[in-house]
Structure formats: structure tokens, C-alpha cells
Amino acid sequence: MNLKKPKIRLSAIEKTAYHEAGHVIGCYLVGFEIEYASIIPDGDSNGQVKSKEFENYFYEGFRLYHIKDYELIFNSIVVNMAGYFCVRKVTGKGQLFVDFGDYARTLDLLKSFHITSSLRDSMMANAEYFLRDIFNEERPWELVRIIVASLLERKTLTGMEILEIIENSNYYILRKSRSTPS
């Protein structure tokens, strides 16, 4: 399916729900533990997905010494970009980062780890290719729709509610395994 082809018009709340559902799927796919997802405006944003992995890795001056550090950065970029892909797939419109906060978090992460511009460009391009492939498949897209409907109905979902929705649906998708369940 072509991501550039316009599909439908969304209200502001629907756009936010698709955006946050994208982050949820991104977190789930890379194995980030989700604390909650919300489409309730909180001042700076129209909604948010809180994931434990984002909190601990914004250290100024931190250097990369292990491949796991690169994996964390790549996974974080995937999660930050995922909101865009959902909105883009539905509307056919949108910039790479719809939410300035997503873009700023990605830039802060890359800067704090002293990522060179060539490595940054490579990581971002690879994350974009990965997400294009994921969101062009039907199963993850059906999960996005289920999560959007739940967010529109409840406004906030806990991490446990999100896992129940995903794991009890007919659209279960593979993800990176965690050593302990979320």
C-alpha cells in the first residue's frame, strides 16, 4: 500500500489517537515496556505514550561502547517515528515527525550519544524502511485500528490494558522478546 495516497480526513483527536497508537505498536515491536498511552492533552502535546526505556538514556556526554547502545537508539528512533507512519497511512499527509516532541527527543538522543551525521542518517533511514514494511502489513495495521478505537473510547490505556488488547486480538504480531514479561 502506498503511504502517500490520501485516505481519509481525521479530526484532531482521531489524528492524535492514530499517532499515539503508532508509538504503542513501535514500543511493542521493539520490546519497550509501555506504562500508558493517552490522548488527553497535557500542555505541550495532544497525547503521549510513556515507556520506561526512554527515561533513562538521555545523558549528556554519554558515549556508545556497546552494540546494545546502538540497538537502544535505533529502537527509540523507531518508536519516535512510528506515530508519523500511522497518521501518514490514514491521511496520506504528514511530515517525517508530526509531533515536534518526537523530533526533539530523537535529536536529543542522537546528540547526547555523540552520533555522527552519517550514522544518524543511516539509523533514521533504516528505521524509516523498517516502519514502512511493518505498517504496510495488514496485521499490525489492524492492531493500530483496535488501539485507536480503544483510545478514542477510554482516552487513556495502561500498559497492561494495551498488552491485553494486543495479545487477545486476532492480529497478534511478533516482537522482540523480553527476559521478563511486562
Tens-place pLDDT, residues 1-55: 445 555 578 898 999 999 999 999 999 888 888 999 999 998 878 899 998 765 5
Q: Distance between CA 153 and CA 34 in Å, rounded?
A: 19
| In a domain? residue 98 | yes
pTM (2 decimals)?
0.81
Supply the CATH number for residue 50's domain.
Answer: 1.20.58.760
| In a domain? residue 122 | yes
| In a domain? residue 146 | yes
Domain count, the chain: 1
| In a domain? residue 173 | no
| In a domain? residue 7 | no
| In a domain? residue 29 | yes
Within the chain, what is the greatest distance between any pair of CA atoms?
Answer: 45
Q: Which amino acid is at 58?
A: F
Q: Are 18 and 148 in contact (CB under 8 A)?
A: yes
